[in-house]
Amino acid sequence: MPTLVTKRGSLRWRGNVQVQGVMRQKLFEDNSRKSERAAFLWEEETRKAVAEELAKTLTVCLTVLDWANAYLNQAHTRFSHKTYQEKRKAFSSVIKEVGPERPVAEIDAAMASKYLSRMARSRSGYSVNKDRKNLAAGWTWARQFLADFPQGQNPFGAVPKFPEERHDRYVPPEEDFWKVFELTEGQDRVMLTAFLHLAARRNELLGLIWADVDFNGNRVRLWTRKRKGGRECDWLPMTRDLRTSLLWWREQRLSMDTEDREHVFVSLDKTPFCEQYYGKPFTVRQQFMKRLCDRAGVERFGFHAIRHLTASILYAKGYSVADIQAILRHQNPNTTTRYLKSLGVEQVRNVLEDGLARPGKVVPLPNKKALGA
């Protein structure tokens, strides 16, 4: 509403309008009733004009920041934390380059190509292609779900992929895995057995709970967020060696007084640095494999390398690519289900049982007192 202010020694009416952070002001001639009335009328007209201007801007001129926030909000609930962070990084970079207030309608294939090409001068082609993929996915989503979003060509999808210099993943020799394995006991030995026999990803196995272990059906359920449909699960057969290990470990776990009794694998390290995590499920076990590899005197490899080792062992023994793909669940959405249905769980079980049996030697389980962290 109008206020009286002193300007150059005299009182004057001033009109004040603020709509969604936008402030407009106007000084009138004096402090008379006529000027007060004029200030009231000006405020009403200005408030209406500013509101209409903002409404037009919000509904028609979607900005890059509007697009990024809308897409990332839904991505936060649909994808894993790692995938979300990858998408967030891609959008942060493009916002910094083109500006948060730039209308998305101004972004065309030429601008997208110029931006990605500039990124490629200081980053690898693989890294830039990840940004290209995430920005193109965000554009495709916005065309379908955001009102007034441009419906023409996807500018990021129109840019050709950049050349990539990809290096083969390191797959440890089978003998190196067993050298590391021999250094473990208790929970650690059970965990490595599970990684080898399930070809599991790290988060799938560290998040495993006893409800996912079906001893009656001899199978294990693994949950993943690696697919477009969100969090999904697959059942894999439990080999004899894995069943024996998990049965033994369940007996040990039930006898422990830990905060978490639901997860299969929990931290059992009571050293000062790790004591606060005792009895809680693992999240990464970042240094675990590095220390074991160094002790065994072999080239360092991680949990994911064991997944590829499983595939290489089976392939070397002559099993079909289809069998191995079914075990890895390494396909687009629904591929794993399609493979398991077409092959049958028992056929996959035979592949695992025969392919992963350790020739001529039975790995003894530690006694009940051997409870390594």
Q: What is the mean pLDDT of residues 310-336?
A: 72
Give the tokens for residue 197.
Answer: 């026999």
- The model's pLDDT over 118-159, given as tens digits with 9 standing for 90+, comes to 999 999 999 999 999 999 999 999 999 998 899 889 999 999
User: Are 3 and 39 spatial neighbours (Cβ–Cβ below 8 Å)?
Assistant: no
Q: What is the DSSP string of 334-371?
A: THHHHHHHHH-HHHHHHHHHHHS--TT---PPP-TT--
Q: Looking up tokens 């495709």, which residue turns up?
A: 140
Q: What is the pLDDT of residue 21?
A: 58
Give DSSP secondary structure letters for 205-221.
HHT-BGGGEETTTTEEE
Please give the C-alpha separations between residue 207 and each of 213, 221, 261, 264, 298, in angstroms, as whole numbers. 12, 11, 13, 8, 28
Beta bridge partners of 10: 7
Q: pLDDT tens-digit profile of 194-221?
A: 999 999 999 999 999 999 999 999 999 9
Give the integer Cα–Cα distance in Å for 138 and 298.
43
Helices (H) and strands (E) in the chain, counts: 15, 6
Token match 């004591």: residue? 275
Q: Which numeric CATH code is attached to 64-158?
A: 1.10.150
The answer to whether residue 191 scores a pLDDT higher than 50 is yes
Strand partners, 22: 19
pLDDT top residue among 1 and 266: 266
State the chain's mean pLDDT as an integer. Answer: 84
Of all residues in the chain, what percent carry a pLDDT higher than 70?
Answer: 85
In the CATH scheme, what architecture does the domain 174-355 have? Orthogonal Bundle (1.10)
The distance in angstroms from the start CA to the end CA of the chain is: 70
Question: Which stretch of 80-84, 129-133, 288-292, 315-319 has the lowest confidence by average pLDDT?
Answer: 315-319
Cα(274)–Cα(206) distance, rounded to whole angstroms? 17
pLDDT tops 90 at residue 294: yes
Place 359 in a pLDDT band, splitting at 50, 70 and 90: low
Provide the residue ranges of all domains of the chain, joining segments of one domain with +: 3-60, 64-158, 174-355
The conformational region for residue 21 under phi > 0 = left, psi -120 to 50 = alpha, else beta, is left
Q: How confident is the model at residue 166 (pLDDT cuts 50, 70, 90)?
A: low
Residue range 282-286: average pLDDT?
A: 84
Over residues 92-107, mean pLDDT: 93
Is the pLDDT reported for residue 91 higher than 80? yes
> Which two structure tokens, joined as six digits, stand for 308?
């590829």
Give CA separation, 372 vs 120, 200, 242, in Å.
Answer: 47, 21, 18
The single-letter DSSP state of residue 163 is: P
What pLDDT score was predicted for residue 249?
96
Q: How confident is the model at residue 226 (pLDDT cuts 50, 70, 90)?
A: low
Cβ–Cβ < 8 Å for 177, 302 = no
Written as one letter, the residue type at 214 is D
22 near 50, Cβ under 8 Å?
yes
Rounded (to 5) percent helix, strand, coil in the chain: 55, 10, 35
Confidence of residue 340 (pLDDT cuts 50, 70, 90): very low
> Do residues 26 and 16 lie in contact, with contact meaning Cβ atoms separated by under 8 Å?
no
Range in 46-50, 147-151, 236-240, 253-257 the model is least confident about:
46-50
